[in-house]
Chain A
Amino acid sequence: MSIPAELKYAKSHEWIRLEADGTATIGITQHAQELLGDMVFVELPEVGRSLALEEDCAVVESVKAASDIYAPISGEVVAVNEEVESSPEKVNEDCYSAWLFKLKPANTAEIDALLDASGYEELLASEAD
């Protein structure tokens, strides 16, 4: 299971990468995409929308099921990945480059509260029990 060390993780299986410009890029983890299976539809939030912490803001649908995506931190949506909207299978191919949306964080303290790679690995181990 690939859990890149440089990323942060939410318990709801999103990954977050802090960019040099202060924005945060968000996608779903390898565990999440494997669980969902072949991705066929992605619905992303509108640019400009303000998201509260843990607000459901996007949907990824696989052949099997629909799954809500939650905002791992609060903030304003500054970009969405139109490429995954037209080719949802990119999430299966490489979930860490096929990001979903970018946020301008409203509260940096929320970022510190996220899991690091080892914390996320422990979470997966506990969920597997």
Chain B
Amino acid sequence: MLKTTALNATHRALQAKMVDFGGWDMPLHYGSQLDEHHAVRRDAGMFDVSHMLSVDLHGEQARQFLRTLVANNIDKSTVPGKALYTCMLNPTGGIIDDLIIYFLSESWFRLVVNAGTADKDLDWIAQQSKQYAPELTITPRRDLAMIAVQGPNARAKVWQIIPDCKADTEELKPFQSVTHGDYFIARTGYTGEDGFEITLPADQAVDFWQKLHAVGVVPAGLGARDTLRLEAGMNLYGQDMDETINPFEAGLGWTVDLKSERDFIGKSALLAKTVNQQLVGLVLLDKGVLRNHQKIITQQTENAGEGEITSGGFSPTLNQSIALARVPLGVAVGEQVYVEVRNKQLAAKIVKYPFVRNGKVLV
């Protein structure tokens, strides 16, 4: 039995093509993934991301616990509302999940974790809290829905339907959030565009979605979410990283704090480990489409082995194929490489990602 969000009937009424996404019945697209992708880049689109889980940590031990639980430094979050992107590591430095932590008050932090890893994360957090923060209260918030509104006009459209929130959110900087009545509004997202991720009581989700739709926000499915996030060079858990990959190999070294004195789970393993691989961007020079797990031949291959595409696909904005790939250290930006596609070797170029940010092509 697939799990459903509060918007399931709404997606079906919009004739969405529904798919099993990690046990959730979710919309892949509502007719054309390409049209939805372009709507987000050019105007505004919305995604039902209620399958992701908010987990509230309440208690005086919350900050101290997060200093141990995650690789990024929660002490960077000093202003209430601040969001922190981080990895949660296992003792060998592998990534259990990537998540956002919102600092709401000294006794209340909110974690937003991936849908597919939510149960595993909850078990892990509960297990660790027994040791490090026994008095902490951990509350999964399945009573909340989450809608991401993304695109250059996304914020203006939200202000059209909740006009009194404009004053609260106009000055909100990227990676900050604010509570506005029943709405928890964060200037975060997964598309490389401006916008909000709005968390609200699940029983208000349909009404809010329909109001957004009425002001021209285009419903967008998981298909467009994937091509947008790939263009934005953002990692996807399970593809670009998992428990066998550490943050440095996943291009997430910038989220790991090794400077502070604090000890976090996985730190000693990261310090002891030699990193041999890096995540890079690829742009296909030949015709075709790059896909996950295709092998990459580089100048380093003879000594250091092949690379592998972790997230490949067609970029609607560039109108050519792009990919994120894990390759040996030493493979440099600008280098031409070859990708094995159906017994052929197609030429591709190593680039610095993101590929697209705020509607602009960067490669």
Contacts and interface: CB of A to CB of B under 8 A. Distances in A.
Interface residues of A, number: 11
Contacts of B223: 37, 63-64
Interface residues of B, number: 17
Interface stretch (B5-13, B284-292, B329-337): B284-292
Contacts of A40: 289, 314
A4 B165 CA distance: 54
B151 interface: no
Interface string A38-69: 10110100000000000000010101111000
A64 B29 CA distance: 11
Interface in B311-345: 313-314, 316, 321, 342
A41 B289 CA distance: 7
Nearest to A40: B314
Given A37-B29, A37-B223, A63 B34 contact: yes
Interface of A: 37-38, 40-41, 43, 59, 61, 63-66
Interface in B261-288: 287-288
A38 B289 contact: no
Given A40-B314, A41-B314, A63 B33 contact: yes
Interface in B197-223: 223
29 contacts: A37-B17, A37-B28, A37-B29, A37-B32, A37-B33, A37-B223, A38-B32, A38-B33, A38-B34, A40-B289, A40-B314, A41-B287, A41-B288, A41-B289, A41-B314, A43-B287, A43-B288, A59-B342, A61-B289, A61-B314, A63-B33, A63-B223, A63-B227, A63-B314, A63-B316, A64-B33, A65-B291, A66-B289, A66-B291
Contacts of B314: 40-41, 61, 63
Interface in B225-251: 227
Nearest to B319: A40
